[in-house]
Amino acid sequence: MSILKPIIYFSVFNHPLTQEEAFLFSEVKNKETVITELKQLTDDGIINKIDNFFLLGNNPSHVKKRINGNHEAEKIMPKVKEVASFISKFPFIKGVAVSGSLSKGYYDDESDFDFFVITKSQRVWISRIFLAIYKRLFLSNSYKEFCVNYFVSTSTLEIEEKNRFTATEIVTVIPLFGKTEFADFYNANSWTKNYFPNIKLQKNKHEIRVIKKTFLIKVLEFVLDNPIGTGINYLMMTIISKRWKFRYKDKKNDPYKSKNEISKHHPDNFQQQVLNKINEQYNFFEKKHGINISKEIS
């Protein structure tokens, strides 16, 4: 019953799945098998079906919340695309994608505009500092509509952590700018097929736009596109890393990743929390229903 895996995963977020979504996020390649397994699980009372959604438990409010969240996501996406366009114009930005809950088609009052950003090689930290300065000066450091916590460069597109959480994030991001960069990104992360063989990557590639820099930004990039710029990039990484290390010295796990080509801020080790909750659910199903589900790795 591997079809339980996507149901359990998204239940962590109280996010019911349609039959099609259960198939897409499943390791089962035959859709008829998925339909049969979903019916059997529903008939046995192991999962529930409310309207067209499958979920653990029997809480209609989760379905209602999801439907409302889908509508809100559709309404907010034009504004999200405007913000993504603005981010793309900053120095050395090569690609911008929507991530987080919005990339799953969901938005509510507690959601942020989350973005995944690809930069020029050896310019991750310069790009990050320009965006951070803008956010502090003009947005009062608000994360609501300008949350950019994950940067990689064109030379480090393969995501190091290979698990169900990262695979889900990779296959659901919505690239808006940087067609070539995201084609390379998907090629570098083809390992996600081991988790989701039914999902076609680059599904919206015809919608990805070309980044157009202003004359001033082009001049700024030219001035910093040399060994001095590389040194500044390294200096920014060193300063910010030390600041993060001091700020989070009491945390059991460092809630950030800072390397020359990667900047990732992940408060409270959210990825590990999700994987732990999934494995707890796997144990529950094994004990209560005798269903053995292979555990997720970190």
- Domains of the chain: total: 2
Q: What is the CATH number of the domain that holds 53?
A: 1.10.10.10
**One domain for residues 47 and 85:** no
Location of structure tokens 């090689």: 121
- pLDDT tens for each residue of 100-138: 999 999 999 888 899 999 999 999 999 999 998 988 887
Tens of pLDDT, residues 269-294? 788 889 999 999 999 988 888 888 88
Across the chain, mean pLDDT equals: 90
Tens digit of each residue's pLDDT (9 = 90 or more) over 171-214: 999 999 999 999 999 999 999 999 999 998 876 777 899 999 99
> Within a domain: residue 45?
yes
More confident position, 47 or 141: 47
Residue 83 covered by a domain: yes
Query: CA nearest 87: which of 179, 181, 215, 177?
Result: 177
**Amino acid letter, residue 37:** E
* 242 and 177 part of one domain: yes
The answer as to whether 41 is a domain residue is yes
Q: Report yes or no on 294 lying in a domain.
A: no
Claim to verify: residue 128 and residue 225 sit in the same structural domain: yes
Whether 133 contacts 95, CB under 8 Å: no
Same domain as 83, residue 22: no
- Burial of 285 (C-beta count, 10 Å sphere; 0-12/13-18/19+): middle
Identify whether residues 30 and 98 lie together within a single domain.
Answer: no
69 domain-assigned = no
User: How far is residue 192's CA from residue 180's CA, in Å, rounded to a whole number?
Assistant: 19
Contacts of 59 (CB under 8 A, 6+ apart): 14
Is position 68 within any domain?
A: no
Residue 35 lies in a domain: yes
State whether 158 and 245 are in the same domain. Answer: yes
Per-residue confidence (pLDDT) for residue 135, from 0 to 100? 85
At residue 117, the pLDDT reads 96
Same-domain pairing of 84 and 222:
yes
Percent of the chain with pLDDT over 70: 93
Q: Is residue 64 part of a domain?
A: no
Write down the residue that tokens 């098998």 correspond to: 33
Q: Residues 181, 281: one domain?
A: no
Collapsed DSSP state (helix, strand, coil) of residue 39: helix
- The helix (run of H) or strand (run of E) holding residue 90 is none
Tokens of 68: 């409302």
| pLDDT > 70? residue 143 | no
Mean pLDDT across the stretch 76-85? 94
**Cβ-contact 86, 118 below 8 angstroms:** no
pTM of the prediction?
A: 0.92
Same domain, 14 and 95: no
CB 260 within 8 A of CB 248: no
Q: Do 46 and 173 lie in a common domain?
A: no
Same domain, 135 and 282: no
Domain housing 108 = 76-265
Examine the domain organization and report whether 37 and 181 are in the same domain: no
Amino acid in position 133: I
**In contact, 151 and 117? CB cutoff 8 Å:** yes
**Any idea how long the chain is?**
298
Pick from 62, 35, 32, 57: nearest CA to 46: 57
Q: What is the mean pLDDT of residues 2-28?
A: 94
